């Protein structure tokens, strides 16, 4: 079992100077609540408690995350959640949903992320805008179904540009929410960036602890298309650092250092 100073091992990232250094691996420490804001800024760069780095084990050729309840967990096409993982603290945020009051799987998020989402939506409302939650938590099995449908419609290679393989979806972590608006017909598309709601989210989401997870111009790093609707909870301090530096979560973990 190992802990990694996480970074994507794609060719594009490697060309950007990203390195995978196991010498900086720290032994597992007790995980604290995301409300304690794990990130801090110092002159030398951001610092993060060692317990917030992925702890992984190679299983069937995949880097499988062994501490999936870590609120800073990095889930992507390199690091996968266990197939049987479901967050134990899922709750249904008190927000408006594109599908109304249906009590269904995708309306849930982890407790702290859900509380932050409620504040995010309230902040938008104070500015005269109304956001709608579209898709939150998603099980491994549901992700299998979505990818299969996308592959059947457009081919697997095309589908994987926007659909995560099972286990590699942030939605399974319970920390992400797809967001849209009535002005965008509740759709999840790149046109959302042109709406007032989409613009507001891009400017203000970090104030509530969320980051735009798959930004424009960073496709070679995230390995997904630009998704102006997909927001991930990381806590206010971490979100502020990422927003200030225009980083992806992969770039953040490439720069952040484990606390001594």
158-212: pLDDT as tens digits: 999 999 999 999 999 999 999 999 999 999 999 999 999 999 999 999 999 999 9
Per-residue pLDDT at 13: 32
Catalytic annotation, pick one of 197, 227, 237, 250: 227
Q: What mean pLDDT do residues 13-22 have?
A: 34
pLDDT at 225 over 60: yes
53 burial via Cβ count (<10 Å: 0-12, 13-18, 19+):
buried
Per-residue pLDDT at 259: 86
Rounded CA gap, 211 and 238, in Å? 9
Share of the chain above pLDDT 70, in %: 83
Full set of structural domains in the chain with CATH: 2-258 (3.30.1380.10)
Question: From residue 175, how far is each of 64, 100, 111 by CA, in Å?
Answer: 18, 21, 9
What is the distance of C-alpha 246 from the center of its chain? 15
The whole-chain average pLDDT of the chain stands at 87
Nearest to 39 by CA among 172, 250, 212, 209: 209
The question of whether 197 is a catalytic residue gets the answer no
Per-residue pLDDT at 44: 65
pTM above threshold 0.75: yes
pLDDT band (50, 70, 90) for residue 1: very low
Per-residue pLDDT at 38: 53
pLDDT at 18 over 60: no
Q: Tokens for 211?
A: 């980051």
99-140: pLDDT as tens digits: 999 999 999 999 999 999 999 999 999 999 999 999 999 999
The 3-class secondary structure across the chain, one letter per residue, is CEECCCCCCCHHHHHCCCCCCHHHCCCCCCCCCHHHCCEEEECCEEEECHHHCCEEEEECCEEEECCCCCCCCCCCCCEECCCCCCCCCEECCCCCECCCCCCCHHHCEEHHHHHHHHHHHHHHHHCCCCCEEEECCCCHHHHHHHHHHHHHHHCHHHHCCCCCCCCCCHHHHCCEEEEECHHHCCCCCHHHHHCHHHHHHHHHHHHHCEEEEECCCCHHHHCCCCEEEEEEECCHHHHHHHHHHCCCHHHHHHHCEECC
């Amino acid at each position: 079992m190992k802990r990694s100073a996480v970074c994507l091992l794609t060719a594009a990232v490697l060309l950007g100077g990203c390195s995978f250094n196991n010498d900086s691996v720290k032994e597992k420490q007790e995980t604290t609540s995301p409300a304690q804001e794990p990130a801090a800024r110092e002159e030398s760069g951001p610092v993060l408690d060692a317990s917030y780095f992925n702890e992984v084990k190679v299983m069937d050729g995949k880097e499988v995350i062994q501490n999936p309840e870590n609120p800073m967990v990095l889930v992507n096409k390199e690091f996968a959640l266990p197939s049987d993982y479901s967050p134990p603290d899922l709750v249904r945020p008190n927000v408006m949903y594109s599908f109304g009051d249906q009590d269904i799987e995708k309306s849930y998020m982890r407790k702290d992320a859900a509380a932050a989402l409620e504040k995010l939506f309230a902040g938008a409302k104070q500015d005269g805008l109304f956001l709608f939650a579209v898709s939150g938590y998603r099980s491994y099995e549901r992700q299998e179904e979505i990818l299969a449908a996308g592959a059947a419609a457009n081919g697997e290679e095309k589908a994987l540009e926007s659909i995560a393989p099972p286990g590699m979806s942030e939605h399974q972590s319970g920390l992400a929410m797809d967001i849209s608006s009535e002005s965008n017909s509740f759709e999840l598309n790149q046109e959302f960036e042109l709406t007032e709601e989409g613009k507001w989210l891009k400017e203000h989401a970090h104030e509530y602890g969320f980051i735009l997870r798959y930004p424009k111009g960073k496709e070679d790093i995230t390995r997904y298309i630009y998704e102006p609707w997909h927001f991930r909870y990381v806590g206010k301090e971490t979100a502020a650092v990422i927003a200030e530096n225009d980083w992806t979560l992969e770039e953040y973990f490439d720069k952040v250092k484990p606390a001594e």
